[in-house]
């Protein structure tokens, strides 16, 4: 078997076009332009690229954006003051704090400071709690992007054995919760694997859908994949020979049924879902 590619770049362009239409309609009806404020602390080049991707995507969808770039040495208190100002600004609908933050900053305190109604990353504990209870306001961007990839490629989750490798708060944990939820995009039988999992390959080989988010370049190899499986690679690893996913694409492509590339897979979908959440935030804040 040689896997067909799930094209996240093309799909995200389609979704962004849909969002641009909805945004234009919303703005025509209300006179309000949705606005995303991004906070980028310090000058990490990777984070700069990600924030620029987000701002470019906003602009193309008719969503306004602001960029706030405090220096790396900012204190937690000063950063909280900036977030408070954005929370109180009625022209700002979404607030996003680019991660990772410098180590002197209390990340938990910062994410809790974002007004839950403006929390387009869905990292605030109120939004995490709502997600777990099955009454979400915003879905976290990367897991939501993956669900859209599955849905729009006619890959059903109901009854599927899905294995999630990685248990981060940003991808693995919310991904597993969404997949196990009752109803559309859910109803899967979900297994979560991590660094302490015994006989990982035996578990991953049971997956109809294998989702990998661990941050180790080319970690998942062909022997770990069931023939015909759908493989979703969330990895974004800078290596001496360029960008690599968490999946050994060359090898796994020979056994999988469908596979996402890196770049051009999950990454662009994450950005599209951020725009979706920003439009949702503007709707929630506009009578
Ligand atoms: C693509 C991210 C790790 C840690 C923090 C398009 C993005 C990436 C790739 C992007 C990511 C990864 C983002 C592609 C945002 C996804 O064409 O393949 C877009 O901008 N992402 C982030 O904000 O923080 C991260 C990965």
User: Average pLDDT of 81-87?
Assistant: 98
Which ligand 1 atom is nearest residue 265's CA?
A: 18
Q: Which stretches of the chain are assigned E, i.e. beta strand?
A: 4-5, 35-39, 64-68, 94-97, 161-165, 189-193, 209-212, 230-233, 237-239, 242-244, 258-259
User: Average pLDDT of 236-251?
Assistant: 97
Give pLDDT, residue 182. 97
Domains of the chain listed by start with CATH number: 32-115 (3.40.50.10860), 141-267 (3.40.50.720)
Q: Is there an atom of ligand 1 within 6 Å of 264 CB?
A: yes
pTM above 0.75, yes or no: yes
Give pLDDT, residue 56. 98
Q: Does residue 124 register a pLDDT over 90? A: yes
Give pLDDT, residue 1. 77
Q: Is there an atom of ligand 1 within 6 Å of 236 CB?
A: yes
pLDDT digits (tens, 9 = 90+) for 132-187: 999 999 999 999 999 999 999 999 999 999 999 999 999 999 999 999 999 999 99
Q: At what angle do helices 8-30 and 141-152 cross, to 10 degrees?
A: 110
Q: Is there an atom of ligand 1 within 6 Å of 53 CB?
A: yes
Q: Is there an atom of ligand 1 within 6 Å of 270 CB?
A: yes
- Which residue of the set 55, 98, 148, 253 is catalytic? 98
Q: Is there an atom of ligand 1 within 6 Å of 42 CB?
A: no
Residue 265, SS3 per DSSP: coil
| Interval between CA 139 and ligand 1 midpoint (Å) | 17
Reply yes or no on whether 98 is catalytic.
Answer: yes
Residue nearest to atom 17 of ligand 1 (CA): 264
Judge whether 94 and 278 are in contact, CB under 8 Å: yes
Please, how many CA atoms are within 13 Å of residue 200, restricted to the half-sphere of its CB? 16
Q: Is there an atom of ligand 1 within 6 Å of 267 CB?
A: yes
Pairing outcome for strands 242-244 and 237-239: antiparallel
What are the backbone dihedrals phi and psi of residue 35, each rounded to the nearest 5 degrees, phi first? -135, 130
Distance in angstroms (rounded) separating the CA atoms of residues 219 and 39: 32
User: Average pLDDT of 200-228?
Assistant: 98
pLDDT digits (tens, 9 = 90+) for 13-60: 999 999 999 999 999 999 999 999 999 999 999 999 999 999 999 999
Distance in angstroms (rounded) separating the CA atoms of residues 102 and 73: 8
| Interval between CA 267 and ligand 1 midpoint (Å) | 5
Judge whether 201 and 165 are in contact, CB under 8 Å: no
User: Average pLDDT of 266-275?
Assistant: 98
Mean confidence (pLDDT) of the chain:
98
Token digits of residue 189: 């039988």
Reply yes or no on whether 121 is catalytic.
Answer: yes
Name the burial class of residue 104, with classes exposed (0-12), middle (13-18) and buried (19+) by CB atoms within 10 angstroms of its CB: exposed
H or E segment and range at residue 74: none
């Amino acid at each position: 078997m040689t896997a067909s590619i799930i094209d996240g770049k093309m799909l995200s362009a389609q979704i962004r076009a849909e969002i641009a239409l909805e945004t234009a309609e919303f703005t025509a009806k209300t006179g309000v332009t949705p606005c995303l404020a991004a906070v980028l602390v310090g000058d990490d080049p990777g984070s700069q690229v990600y924030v620029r991707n987000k701002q470019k995507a906003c602009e193309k969808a008719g969503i306004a954006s602001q960029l706030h770039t405090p220096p790396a040495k900012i204190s937690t208190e000063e950063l909280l003051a900036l977030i408070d100002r954005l929370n109180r600004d009625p022209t700002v609908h979404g607030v996003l704090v680019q991660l990772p933050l410098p180590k002197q900053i209390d990340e938990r305190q910062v994410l809790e400071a974002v007004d839950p109604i403006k929390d387009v990353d869905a990292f605030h504990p109120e939004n995490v709690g709502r997600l777990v209870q099955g009454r979400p306001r915003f879905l976290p961007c990367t897991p939501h992007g993956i669900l859209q990839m599955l849905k729009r490629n006619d890959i059903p989750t109901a009854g599927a054995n899905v294995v999630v490798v990685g248990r981060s708060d940003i991808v693995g944990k919310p991904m597993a919760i969404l997949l196990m939820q009752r109803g559309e995009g859910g109803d899967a039988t979900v297994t979560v694997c991590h660094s302490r999992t015994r006989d990982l390959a035996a578990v991953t080989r049971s997956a109809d859908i294998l989702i990998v988010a661990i941050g180790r370049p080319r970690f998942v190899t062909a022997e770990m994949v069931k023939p015909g499986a759908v493989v979703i690679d969330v990895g974004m690893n800078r290596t001496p020979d360029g960008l690599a996913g968490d999946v050994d694409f060359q090898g796994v492509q020979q056994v999988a049924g469908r596979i996402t590339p890196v770049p051009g897979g999950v990454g662009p979908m994450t950005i599209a879902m951020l725009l979706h959440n920003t439009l949702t935030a503007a709707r929630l804040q506009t009578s």
